[in-house]
Amino acid sequence: MPSPIRLEPSRRELLVSSAATVAIAGAATGVCAADIRREIVEEQTKVVFEVNGETKHLTLDNRTTLLDALREHLHLTGTKKGCDHGQCGACTVIVNGRRINSCLTLAVMHEGEKITTIEGLGRPGNLHPMQAAFVKHDGFQCGYCTPGQICSSVAVLQEIDADIPSHVTENLIAQATVTSAEIRERMSGNICRCGAYSNILDAIKEVAGVPA
């Protein structure tokens, strides 16, 4: 009986042919492994910025997002990667006092800037008032969005304070400028899949001094 005809190459044959193709292509274009390594090195940049009060020196691929620099290079995993498209707010951090989606910006764009992550706001036993308020009001369930929610909440109150007219006295700030509707609007970029929005609002209002 004649041997069956093989219609597909074996794994060994495929690997050998692939290696030969790469070698021929490299020889034809004059590209060698050393050139490839050199190109990779040239695509990296040294960046220095301040994270949670500490100066950090990193050498990063120019395409590295701030989110990945924080999580993968500095191991600050409190900042979460959610949608990775700037739509959920889980990766929110504070840069020079302004909240941003760290997944949408490159780390090399923040040379010399001051970055605050959830780890820099407070620690167990010494919580930031916003962190303590989230705990008190059960402002989280699964907790995945919570770091971004808290960073955004802190920045929101800073934004509101900056918008307050200079003639408004401190004891009238809450009644004159902060409403639940405004807080909800300013926090609309932070999504909570568990639906803890009312509790989050209560936490922010307490820190802002808004009557419940």
Q: Tens place of pLDDT for every residue, the chain, 212 residues?
A: 555 555 566 656 655 566 656 556 565 655 566 555 555 556 899 999 999 999 999 999 999 999 999 999 999 999 999 999 999 999 999 999 999 999 999 999 999 999 999 999 998 899 999 999 999 999 999 999 999 999 999 999 999 888 766 555 554 444 446 789 999 999 999 999 999 999 999 999 999 988 76
Structural domains in the chain plus CATH codes: 43-208 (1.10.150.120)
In sequence order, the 6+-apart residues with CB closer than 8 A to the CB of 144 are 80, 82, 90, 193
In sequence order, the 6+-apart residues with CB closer than 8 A to the CB of 23 are none
- Type of residue at 155: A
Could you tell me if 191 and 89 are in contact, meaning their C-beta atoms sit under 8 angstroms apart?
yes
Residue 176: per-residue pLDDT = 47
CA pair distance 26, 179, nearest whole angstrom: 65
Q: How many CB atoms lie within 10 A of CB 131?
A: 23
Residue 177: per-residue pLDDT = 62
Give the count of alpha carbons within 13 A of 19, CB side only: 6
Total-model pTM: 0.76
